[in-house]
Structure 1
Amino acid sequence: MAQSQNEERKQWYKAMRKFKWGIIAGIQCAFLAKVIKYYEDTHTADIQPLANSSDGEVSAQYLDIPVSENCYMIDEIIKQLKPELTKIDKKCSSNIVEKLPKKRLMRDGVPVVAVVLDRDNDNWKGGRAVNNYVPNSSRLHNANDAIIIGVLGGDAENG
């Protein structure tokens, strides 16, 4: 039985939409994750993406993800100032240290936003390095090339 041109166009349209969705679904741009382990000395973290796949399967963890400076800088400043602020508190009977966050902003268990770089970043030196580099592979928009750019939730009291 011959299909009408209209039915054939509808099938082509549906096929193209599925094809487009397949391509877009494979491109990773950014995702929400939970910090499983934060490594303060290297400013990297192991993370677990929060979104499951459409069939409910839990995503694999990503290891040694670089953490943006804005996620941990306040923690390091507080750590450096706390001894001096404690001395001031004792001298002046003030309560400055009590007003500092109880927990670090960047720590195990917090939700974060990770962005995925366009290219493989294996040959990038990391940190503040601004070296030009040749990508190690042809990977594009792969979550293995993610960087944590923000910590979600929290407040000035509890971190």
Structure 2
Amino acid sequence: MSKSKNEELKAMFNMMNKLHHGFLARMKVGNMAKVVKYNKNTHTADIQPLAKSSDGQTPAQLLDVPVSENCYIIDEILDRLKPELSKVDSHIGSSIVAKFPKKHLMRPGVPVAYVTLDRDTDNWERGRKANIYMPNTSRLHDINDSVIIGVFGGDAKDG
């Protein structure tokens, strides 16, 4: 094979690698973020993605991201039990409530994992409804269709 043909093939290979990387860089799947604000009434959070882009830019915050139930349900259960168990503690001299985590698991400042869903979620009825819906647009793998699926770093003592 001639040197020029070899250089041509190498250049094509490099171009295909860059094109492949470009496609992958634009596809959103899952990532880490920090909770900036959490709304416990709507179970949504404003989050700051932690990974910088390949050019070193800090990504924009994602606003009103739905939070999966597993991220907050223990917090809500303990909040509901606390008043009754406080009465038990004072009545029998126990310290059950003192063993609760000091902070909620889902709160501003904690690291979370979020995934970007494949389709537009504008017409999705959030919550427990599992209704089939028609996507509002042909939008695919858009970061605005992300949901929080997990909280990291907590424990049963400190939350």
Do the two structures share a fold, i.e. TM-score over 0.5? yes
* Corresponding position: 1:4 with 2:7: no
Q: What CA deviation, in whole Å up to 9, does each residue of 1:109-151 have, x standing for no partner?
A: 1110000000110100111121111111121111100000000
| TM-fit CA distance, 1:3 | 5.7
* Corresponding position: 1:135 with 2:135: yes
Question: Between the two proteins, what is the percent identity of the paired residues?
Answer: 59
Provide the C-alpha distance between the structure 1 equivalents of 2:72 and 2:30, rounded to a whole number of angstroms.
Answer: 20
Specify the SS of the correspondent of 1:4. Answer: helix
User: Which residue of structure 2 lines up, in the alignment, with residue 24 of structure 1?
Assistant: 24
Provide the C-alpha distance between the structure 2 equivalents of 1:28 and 1:100, rounded to a whole number of angstroms.
Answer: 37
Root-mean-square deviation (CA), in Å? 1.1
- Alignment: residue pair count: 158
* Corresponding position: 1:52 with 2:52: yes
2:124 maps to a residue whose letter is: W
Specify the SS of the correspondent of 1:77. Answer: helix
Q: How does 1:115-154 map to 2 (within 5 A)?
A: 115-154=115-154
Moved more, 2-11 or 56-65: 2-11
| TM-fit CA distance, 1:40 | 0.5
Specify the SS of the correspondent of 1:138. Answer: coil
User: Which residue of structure 1 lines up, in the alignment, with residue 102 of structure 2?
Assistant: 102
TM-score normalised over the length of structure 1: 0.96
5+ residue gaps, structure 1, are none
Structure 1 residue ranges (4+ consecutive) displaced by more than 6 angstroms after TM superposition: none
Provide the C-alpha distance between the structure 2 equivalents of 1:122 and 1:52, rounded to a whole number of angstroms.
Answer: 27
Specify the SS of the correspondent of 2:149. Answer: strand
| TM-fit CA distance, 1:4 | 2.4
Q: What CA deviation, in whole Å up to 9, does each residue of 1:82-122 have, x standing for no partner?
A: 01110110111111011000000101111100000001101
